[in-house]
Structure 1
């Protein structure tokens, strides 16, 4: 996972509330075994409407999405986060998120920023023609008009985003401790090693015959 410290650029000024995961990525896209290409299906039903925001060239490739309350509700499909990431979204700003979506977002390098509705309204206005910046170092969202909004994020999730750590990365970061533990267990309980286990299977097999 790529580390995220700052997300800066154009933002989709959407503001829609109660956007569920089926809107983010429809169910028929879930047959794929790859994350690549899911961005094409992101917001498919919204994109079917003429003049929709996601196909507006002014916001093409925007790394930030500004949404309304309860973003990512519905199913627990991680494909929703995969689709957003594949279309280039690195941060979503909303008054609230589904807990499962919020966790999936962090695991896929997307910053879930929670800010009050009045701040969302301001950002929706600014994002019409100006960039927005999300800074994990200072935990702020800023605009070219000197707006500065502070947000909170669980310290562990913040660390994972800034260091680019998903579950695999977190495990590998403790490789030394894990190896030392395994060496200690092998010394204390030698009967658990592979050779002993294999011998046990052979003996058991002989008894069955």
Structure 2
């Protein structure tokens, strides 16, 4: 299991009501030097979270630095979240910070592919539903939202919203599978193929 798996998540919600939040805003390019998935959370939304280049002076106006939201794990955002370059480091930063679900009207395609294998559920809701949730969170600082992958429901207070998430993404998140985990599920078939290939065509054979 490569990432934290979950089926039902209840966590503090935070709203960043901006459209077209791209991957360079999620994780600026200067922090893409590491290859391990851990350690990126401190750089999440770096240009918005800090007033200085060294990341030592938190921006008090940015929501993740405000009381009640520093441990948020459910993000509410505007449409086309995750647009821009295809860097998988962006979901790494979101996951490492602690986000398990992002609620928005729409998401960029490649970002959608990268998110599920990092344990992040992308929940598409109608724009009016996102607006309601953003207002609800603003009025109820520190309140929690519940996401259930089994019933495809989002619950905030007395309100419940329904969503659709493809079965492949649900299976990845519920089991904590990334691409390597899914490949290893076929390790027996891979081994058998390697043995047949080795017997049929030796790698030491010289081809002219």
TM-score by shorter chain over 0.5? yes
2:16: which partner in 1?
14
Higher helix residue share = 1
User: Quick check: 1:10–1:127 contact (8 Å CA) kept in 2?
Assistant: no
2:199: which partner in 1?
190
Question: SS at 2:31's partner residue?
Answer: helix
1:150: which partner in 2?
162
Question: Distance in 2 between the 1:26 and 1:156 partners?
Answer: 29
State the 1:158 CA deviation.
Answer: 1.3
1:135: which partner in 2?
148
1:50 aligns with 2:52: no
> How is 1:14-163 mapped onto 2 (pairs within 5 angstroms)?
14-48=16-50, 49-128=59-138, 129=140, 130-145=143-158, 147-163=159-175
State the 1:34 CA deviation.
Answer: 2.6
Question: SS at 2:103's partner residue?
Answer: strand
Question: Distance in 1 between the 2:175 and 2:35 partners?
Answer: 27
With 63-72 and 23-32 compared, the bigger mean Cα shift is at 23-32
Note the alpha carbon deviations across 1:75-102, whole angstroms, 9 max, x for none.
1111110110111011100000000111
Q: Who wins on radius of gyration, i.e. which is larger?
A: 1
1:171 aligns with 2:183: yes
Unpaired runs of 5+ residues, structure 2, are 51-58
> How many correspondences in the alignment?
195
User: Quick check: 1:63–1:88 contact (8 Å CA) kept in 2?
Assistant: yes
Unpaired runs of 5+ residues, structure 1, are none
Note the alpha carbon deviations across 1:171-193, whole angstroms, 9 max, x for none.
1122233334445x35xx7332x
Question: SS at 2:32's partner residue?
Answer: helix
User: Quick check: 1:105–1:111 contact (8 Å CA) kept in 2?
Assistant: yes
Alignment TM-score, normalising by the size of structure 1: 0.86
With 55-64 and 32-41 compared, the bigger mean Cα shift is at 32-41
Higher relative contact order (CA 8 A, sep 6+): 2
Alignment TM-score, normalising by the size of structure 2: 0.86
